[in-house]
Copies of this chain bind each other. A is one copy, B any other.
């Protein structure tokens, strides 16, 4: 199992697609975006769900946390059942988010990957993609890495996604 953590617009999805292309075995990719897609539309307009403020702030409520926990446990089961699984997540709680994952993972072998990108560059890419609330990239760029421990870190500021993916793939047995 590979878990990537990085702020919005840091380039996680691009790295995941490249990982799927360069790794010799088929890997399943899941992420916080696909989790939100799996939730009812109403979760995006409820205090118990996930809220995106106009300034890029993200808040999550109890229902969201509960479903996210069940989802994480399900992904761990997929890995235990033999699937190679790569996950991209946004650790809004920094070290606390990693600790929560560790509780679900048990003794499962995981490669922790930090995906960094300078805040100004991530913000510029947020403008270029055009489908995100402006401000998320800058707000999350440092926040999500606070206290998190990685096996490998990549930085997309000046390195292409494919090169980042190759560095990560080299760490996968």
Contacts and interface: CB of A to CB of B under 8 A. Distances in A.
A21 interface: yes
How many copies, total? 4
A172 interface: no
A148 interface: no
Contacts of A76: 74, 77
Given A70-B78, A74-B81, A21 B34 contact: no
Interface of A is mostly: helix
Contact of A69 (B17, B41, B81): B81
Contacts of A160: 121, 124-125, 128
Interface residues of A, number: 50
B18 A127 contact: yes
Given A69-B81, A125-B160, 8 more contacts: A14-B125, A15-B128, A17-B41, A21-B127, A29-B38, A70-B81, A71-B78, A124-B162
A129 B14 contact: yes
Kindly list the 10 A-B residue pairs having the minimum CB-CB distance in the complex, ordered from nearest: A14-B128, A70-B83, A74-B78, A124-B162, A20-B40, A77-B77, A70-B81, A128-B161, A74-B74, A17-B130
